Structure 1
C-alpha cells in the first residue's frame, strides 16, 4: 500500500483524496487526544471527505482499449513530433539509423527546443558503422523483411552519420549534444521526451518480422502517470544501451 501511495504522489495522481484523507486522520487523532478542534471544523473535514468520494463516483473514467494503446506510426499524427520537440528540454533517441526521426523538420524543432536551452540536452544513438556484423544483420532485419521498402538501410545510415557529425562539429548550440554508436540492434527504436521530468513520455517501436512497411510497425507510448514501473523500465533500457555504446572516433 505504501508503495502504491508513493507512486501515486510521485505521479501527481489522486492528490485530492490523499490530502483529505491525511486531514481526516490528523483530526481523528487530535480528537481522541483532546477537544481542541471545534465541532464545526470536524464537520467541515467530514463533508470534504464525503464530497471527494461523491466526486470520484461521478468523474469520467478513462476507457483506453488495447488498440488505442498499441498503434502504428499513423496513430501518432494527432501529436506531431516537431511540436513536442520544440517544447522539450531533454530528448533521447535510439534507432538503427534514426533517419525518420532526424528529419529536417524535427531537427529544426530540436534546434528551437533542447539545443537552444542552457539546460537542454539531446542524446542520439544509432548502430555502429564500424561493426560489419551488426550492419549486415540490420539490412536483413530492416530492409529484407519489408514487403514494400522505400528506404535503403546503408544509405540512410550514412546520411544520418553525416547529420550527426554536422550537428556536433558545426552547429551553434546552447544546450548539450552527444551521439554514440551501438554495436547491437535490440529490435526496437526508442524516443524519450523529457524522461527525467514529471511529464516525461517514452515512445517505443518494435521492428518485428516481415512488416508490410515501416509505418505499420507497432508503437506504444507511456508517461509516468500511465505506468511508472514500465516508464522507468524503458528509460533504464536506454541508459543501459548508452553505457554500452561507444563515442565516435
Structure 2
C-alpha cells in the first residue's frame, strides 16, 4: 500500500473518531453506539472461545437488527423543516416556552416574537425555575433615518410600523423584564450589525432541544412569508453551527456592553 493511501486512511479514521466523540458529547445516536459496543464485546468473547448460550446469541442478533432497522426508518423520516411563520400557528411555541429550561433568542427587532404573551410565558417558564436562563439579543437603538432602519424597513413591502419604532418598544419591554424578581437568570444585550437572520433556540443542549433559524430575505410581502428552518441535534454539524452563531452574537453583545 502506498504512503499516500496510508495517509488517506489515517485521515479518514481520525475524522471518524472525531465524529464519534462529537456525537457522544452531544448525545447523538447513543442507541446506535451502544448496540455497536455490545456487539463488539460479544464478538470478542466468541473469538476467544467463550461459551455463550444460543438464546443470548440470538437475542443479541435480533436486538441489534431491530435497532438498526428502527434507526434506518427514523433516518428516512424527517418532519418538514423548511417552514414559514405559519408553522407557529400549526405548532404553537407557547408550550415549549412554558416548559423550557433555557431559551436563546436573537432577533434584530424582536417585536413580532417578543409579544406580551410570550414574554409572560418566559416569566412563568424558564425564569420561574432555579437555573433557568433566558438570553436575548437585539439590535442597538437607532433613528428612523439610520441606514440600518432603512435596510430593515426595505425587507417588507407592507410594513405596519418602522423598524426604529418597533425596536424602541422591544427594548423598553426588555428593560422592564430585567427588573422582574424571578428565580431564573434573564439577560439581554445588543449588537450594531444585522446579519440577516434570527435564531430561537429552546433547550439547545438538552434532549429534545431545537433551534429555529429564520432568514429575512428581501421584499417579503409580510413577516409571515419569511422562511425558517427547524434544526435538532440529529442535524449534526449544522445544528452546532447555528448554536455557535448565537454564542458568537452573545459574546459580541456582552463585549459591547462592557
Instruction: State the TM bucket, normalised to the shorter chain.
Output: 0.7 to 0.9
CA drift of 1:162 comes to 1.1
The answer for the alignment partner of 1:166 in structure 2 is 176
In structure 2, the gaps of 5 or more residues are: 1-15
Cα distance in 1 for partners of 2:84, 2:62 equals: 47
Matched, 1:128 2:140: yes
The answer for the alignment partner of 1:239 in structure 2 is 247
Contact preservation (8 Å) 1:141, 1:209: no
Q: How does 1:209-220 map to 2 (within 5 A)?
A: 209-220=218-229
The answer for the alignment partner of 1:181 in structure 2 is 190
When residues 25 and 99 of structure 1 are mapped into structure 2, their CA distance, relative to the original with a 3 A threshold, is same
In structure 1, the gaps of 5 or more residues are: none
Count residues with an aligned counterpart. Answer: 241
When residues 4 and 160 of structure 1 are mapped into structure 2, their CA distance, relative to the original with a 3 A threshold, is same
CA drift of 1:52 comes to 4.6
Matched, 1:13 2:22: no
Alignment TM-score, normalising by the size of structure 1: 0.84
Cα distance in 2 for partners of 1:57, 1:205 equals: 29
When residues 83 and 42 of structure 1 are mapped into structure 2, their CA distance, relative to the original with a 3 A threshold, is closer
Contact preservation (8 Å) 1:142, 1:207: no
Q: How does 1:135-146 map to 2 (within 5 A)?
A: 136-146=146-156
Cα distance in 2 for partners of 1:57, 1:128 equals: 46
Q: How does 1:1-249 map to 2 (within 5 A)?
A: 1-6=16-21, 9=24, 10-13=26-29, 15=31, 17-52=32-67, 61-62=76-77, 68-129=80-141, 136-169=146-179, 171-225=180-234, 227-246=235-254
Cα distance in 2 for partners of 1:94, 1:179 equals: 10
